[in-house]
Amino acid sequence: MIELDLEKIKRDVAEVFERYGRDPARMIEILQDLQDIYHWLPKELLKEVSRQTGVPLTRVYHMATFFKAFSLKPRGKYVIQVCTGTACHVKGAYMVLDQLKNVLGIDVGETTDDLMFTLETVNCVGACALAPVVVINDYYHGYVTPGKVESLIKEYREQQ
């Protein structure tokens, strides 16, 4: 279970509101900025946004669940997306995916216990010439092979 500092949540929400005000029309931007901080939207965070904006929690929750970009469960500092589009599939994306699962010890849709990595698949990233492609936090890695996976993950672990 992840322990959250409620005072930090209050400070972070207040800081985001300094940029956007408490305008419910800016809810998407507010939630995006908060997710950038936490990598997910914990219930305590949504409650604080509701409290400080006066928007009912059900409406805040609706926004957080409507858009696929938001996550209500913990995500890693690094979100790894393996392209499984046609070009990537043909060039070995599923072998790369299997190696990522082995190295990270998680399955697709899961996050490592240390909250460093979340593994996802995506249908296409629009970089077919670089197939197979792995995207880590919006950084594209092309021509990835199963043999390159371990060093790729090590590179991100060392950035800590």
94 lies in which domain range?
Answer: 78-157
Q: Going by DSSP bridges, is the β-strand pair 139-141/117-122 parallel, antiparallel, or unpaired?
A: unpaired
pLDDT at 132 exceeding the cut of 70: yes
Shared domain for 94 and 153, answered yes or no, is yes
Shared domain for 62 and 82, answered yes or no, is no
Q: Is 60 exposed, middle or buried (0-12, 13-18, 19+ CB in 10 A)?
A: buried
Shared domain for 53 and 19, answered yes or no, is yes
Q: What is the pTM of this model?
A: 0.79
Q: Examine residue 104 and state whether it is found in any structural domain, yes or no.
A: yes
Q: Of 19, 43, 66, which marks where a domain is finished?
A: 66
Q: Examine residue 25 and state whether it is found in any structural domain, yes or no.
A: yes
Q: What DSSP designation does 155 have?
A: H
pLDDT tens-digit series, residues 89-131: 999 999 999 999 999 999 999 999 999 999 999 999 999 999 9
Q: Of 66, 88, 113, which marks where a domain is finished?
A: 66
Shared domain for 88 and 127, answered yes or no, is yes
pLDDT at 1 exceeding the cut of 70: no
Answer yes or no: are the C-beta atoms of 117 and 80 closer than 8 Å.
yes
pLDDT at 3: 76
pLDDT at 85: 96
Q: Examine residue 42 and state whether it is found in any structural domain, yes or no.
A: yes
Shared domain for 60 and 95, answered yes or no, is no
Shared domain for 89 and 35, answered yes or no, is no
Shared domain for 19 and 58, answered yes or no, is yes
pLDDT at 160 exceeding the cut of 80: no
How confident is the model over 26-47, as a mean pLDDT? 93
pLDDT at 97: 98
Distance CA 120, CA 71 (A): 13
Q: Examine residue 1 and state whether it is found in any structural domain, yes or no.
A: no
Shared domain for 54 and 117, answered yes or no, is no
pLDDT at 68 exceeding the cut of 90: no
Q: Examine residue 71 and state whether it is found in any structural domain, yes or no.
A: no
